[in-house]
Amino acid sequence: MVDPVRVAIVGGGIRGSIFARVVGEHPRAELAGICEPAPPVAERLASEFDTPIVGSVDELLDKHAPDAVIIATPDFAHVEVGLAVLGRGLHAMFEKPLATTVEEAGVLRDAASASPGKVMVGFENRWNPKFQAVKRLMGQAGAPLIAQRILLQDTEFVPRQMLSWAGRSTPGWFLFPHTLDMAMWLSGARPVEAYARGVRKVLAPDGIDTWDRISATILMSDDSIVTLDSGWVLPESRPAVFQFHYEVEAKGALYDITIDDSGITHYSADRASYVGTPDTDSRGRLVGAHIDMIRDFIDLCDGQDVETPDIEQGYEVTMAIAAIHESLRTNANVRIRY
């Protein structure tokens, strides 16, 4: 029997807690510890997990000897943790996006190339069976790609109630990593030019200083077009907290993909909701694309041959989203050079 992979988590929020549970469930992994600086959150974690809960990354890494670290801090707080992990040669999984500036993404990329550890970026939609099915069909058909038209939006609940840091992010940094990575993964092409425009009519007047809504167009290296529409001011009467509609147009083919509508609508006395699949199976085991992602990360650390999004792809996604934000700021069209 080989030693289990010791996995630590940095950031014990909603996602970090789920990831800790997946690790705990995994037959070939064990939880090495969780770093969470906020005392009330740390307290909750301590009551749920039988693992050290610490307040500093260095303590986590040096004292609790993880083999692998999942970095689940807010979007803009990946670089310092990442460098600490990569500098020690540990395996690392970054929640998407890798970073929110090209500079930070570049620093992490360089650190990763110098590290013997495995590195992965958590573009979880690649584990969504719907997108996997489309990718296989597209691969079989091999038809020239014309356009990808992608809508991913959140209701106002997200920037107003779910995220405390919405004003320090944008719907671009929060949502485009999902869609842009998918556009790149499905096409096998890279962004070469970004155009974007945005609207600030709803949140900024209420003191949340960010874009309500961004429309971006990306030219791809295969001469196809990707349009990305994301915002977070949808009315809360939508049947899910997010809306996700993805259209792929190729020569002789159209793929029309709706992710948010699960096929089940529950009309209760006062609202209509899409019913997602349960978070756990009939015996309480976690299920879902993000769960499979973490399991694949553990397998990757365990030496298995798993195809996962690598840091180069994480870097490219950050490049392109940074270009989108530069276009938003300058009104110019921005070339993307790798």
Query: Between residue 226 and residue 255, which ones bind a copy of itself under the rule CB under 8 A?
Result: 227, 229, 231, 233-239, 247, 249, 251-255
Which three-class secondary structure state does DSSP give residue 300? helix
Residues 6 or more apart in contact with residue 77 via CB below 8 angstroms: none
178 binds a copy of itself (CB under 8 A): no
26 binds a copy of itself (CB under 8 A): no
Provide the minimum distance between the beta carbon of 116 and a copy of itself in the complex, in angstroms, as a whole number: 24
- Burial group, residue 333, by CB count within 10 angstroms (0-12, 13-18, 19+): middle
25 binds a copy of itself (CB under 8 A): no
- Which of 35, 112, 134, 241 lies at the binding interface for a copy of itself (CB under 8 A)? 134
Q: Give 63 or 271: the residue with its C-beta nearer to a copy of itself.
A: 271
The interface with a copy of itself within residues 260-279 (CB under 8 A) comprises 261-272, 275-278
Q: Give 36 or 296: the residue with its C-beta nearer to a copy of itself.
A: 296
- Which of 137, 188, 209, 338 lies at the binding interface for a copy of itself (CB under 8 A)? 137
Q: Give 113 or 161: the residue with its C-beta nearer to a copy of itself.
A: 161
Provide the minimum distance between the beta carbon of 198 and a copy of itself in the complex, in angstroms, as a whole number: 8
Q: Give 115 or 128: the residue with its C-beta nearer to a copy of itself.
A: 128
Provide the minimum distance between the beta carbon of 151 and a copy of itself in the complex, in angstroms, as a whole number: 7
Alpha-carbon separation of residue 329 from 96, 135, 211 (angstroms): 23, 34, 11
Q: How many residues bind a copy of itself (CB under 8 A)?
A: 75
DSSP assignment of 8-24: EEE--SHHHHHHHHHHH
Question: What is the largest distance, in Å, between two alpha-carbon atoms of the chain?
Answer: 60
Q: How far apart are CA 98 and CA 139, in angstroms?
A: 27
The interface with a copy of itself within residues 316-335 (CB under 8 A) comprises 331, 333
Provide the minimum distance between the beta carbon of 205 and a copy of itself in the complex, in angstroms, as a whole number: 10
Query: Crossing angle, helix 311-330 and helix 102-113, to 10 degrees?
Result: 170
Q: Give 207 or 235: the residue with its C-beta nearer to a copy of itself.
A: 235
306 binds a copy of itself (CB under 8 A): yes
- Which of 25, 30, 48, 292 lies at the binding interface for a copy of itself (CB under 8 A)? 292
Half-sphere exposure of 234 (CA within 13 A, CB side): 20
Provide the minimum distance between the beta carbon of 146 and a copy of itself in the complex, in angstroms, as a whole number: 5
- Which of 46, 107, 146, 192 lies at the binding interface for a copy of itself (CB under 8 A)? 146
136 binds a copy of itself (CB under 8 A): yes
Provide the minimum distance between the beta carbon of 277 and a copy of itself in the complex, in angstroms, as a whole number: 4
Tell me the two tokens of residue 276.
Answer: 């997602």
Q: Which long-range contacts (CB under 8 A, 24 or more apart) does 70-73 make?
A: 70/7, 70/8, 70/9, 70/10, 70/16, 70/19, 70/23, 70/95, 70/294, 70/297, 71/10, 71/11, 71/95, 72/9, 72/10, 72/11, 72/12, 72/13, 72/15, 72/16, 72/19, 73/10, 73/11
Residues 6 or more apart in contact with residue 281 via CB below 8 angstroms: 287
- Which of 258, 310, 312, 326 lies at the binding interface for a copy of itself (CB under 8 A)? 258
The interface with a copy of itself within residues 67-106 (CB under 8 A) comprises none
- The CA-based angle 328-330-336, given to 5 degrees, is 75
DSSP assignment of 74-108: -GGG-HHHHHHHHHTT-EEEEESSS-SSHHHHHHH
Tell me the two tokens of residue 219.
Answer: 């030219």
123 binds a copy of itself (CB under 8 A): no
Q: Give 63 or 251: the residue with its C-beta nearer to a copy of itself.
A: 251
201 binds a copy of itself (CB under 8 A): yes
